[in-house]
Amino acid sequence: MDFDLTREQEMIRKEVRRFAQSEIAPVAVDLDEREEFSVALTRKMGEIGLFGMFVSEAYEGQGLDYIATLSPWRRWPGWTAPRRPPSPPAIRLASGRFTTSAARPKSANTCPGCVPGQAIWGFGLTEPTAGSDAGGSKTTAMRDGSHWVINGSKIFITNAASEMTLGVTVQAVTGSRPNGKPEYTCFIVENGTRGFKAVPMKKKMMWRASNTAELYFDDVRVPAENILGRPGDGFHQMLKTLDGGRLSIAAMGLGGAQGAYDAALSYARKREQFGQPISKFQAVAFKLADSAMEIECGRNLLYKACWLRDQKRSFEKEAAMAKLYCSELMGRVANHAVQIHGGYGLMKEYNVERFYRDQKLLDIGEGTSEVQRIVISRYIGC
């Protein structure tokens, strides 16, 4: 077994770390305070290839493996850009999974600027009454000749209301299956389509610099060719997308844990009480030791899940485990970091305050911790 990153993977990790420290870290606090999604940072990330890492070279990407794609994320304190590479049909097609009807040429051009970081795309699944129960979607699409008419709403949708947003992929109920359960289909809805509106959401506790929106569909007409895949494939497509998204959330949890740990260790070595650095006190040293141990466990769990995916083997159980463990890991480490900082840990001048807030989304996004435990329990035969 080889636990080392390849030379290429290590080069990517170092370059992304350099970028995060030189470009993101200096402005992260200000962006968080002003609740501003940074178009400039997003474009810079596109310029160095961060949005096309696992996308096929045929679609302007680099065709890298998941370990190379996600390993840099573990070192990014204060992530403020899109939470994962955008999800237009061009990228779905590039990953060999989904495409629009009849593989029309437009499917490769719906979001032509996403890979180079000149545009972003939204992923419309969650609704006001359908969060963990994604099968409870109320948004509908009815066939009308050569078009489909979409009505309904979505909420907490990332990347959907920025000046860079070109459109969204939206799941809607399109009928009933033979067993009486709803049939779900995914549609491509481009910005500017009549009846479609995206409204930014503000006053969030965490991820304040992330672009988040409510979506409204009022008799939105889209051509039948805007179906992603085939009618009825929507629920399967969304579940597959969530499986991959769980790896991204796990990487963010691991990265956030590492960032909080680094900050706490540095502070503990410098802060003196009773004539010595507080890192020398067992109560503090044990918190740091526990954090270091759990981060190593999380890294191995995440990398195994990524390796399984790269080997085209079943990875869904391990993805759920990695997402659950790493997201909650960040919570434990950030809590220790704030405690080690004492009163300073409660102040916005110190990054651990933001780590503490930002972690909470990871317990909820891409399936709550409770849902992950349900998923895992089913895989182990409960």
User: Which positions are catalytic?
Assistant: 366
Asked if 246 and 238 count as a contact pair (C-beta separation under 8 A), the reply is no
Tokens 């190379």 identify what position? 68
Mapping DSSP to helix (H, G, I), strand (E, B) and coil, where does residue 109 land?
coil
Distance of alpha carbon 364 from alpha carbon 358, whole angstroms? 11
Going from the C-alpha of 25 to that of each of 18, 185, 268, 292, the distances in angstroms are 10, 40, 21, 22
Helices (H), 190-279: 234-270
Asked if 169 and 197 count as a contact pair (C-beta separation under 8 A), the reply is no
Distance of alpha carbon 355 from alpha carbon 120, whole angstroms? 25
State the angle between helix axes of 369-379 and 316-341 in degrees (0 to 180), rounded to the nearest 10. 140
DSSP string computed for 129-193 = TBSS-GGG---EEEEETTEEEEEEEEEEEETSSSTTEEEEEEEEEEEE-TTSPEEEEEEEEETT-
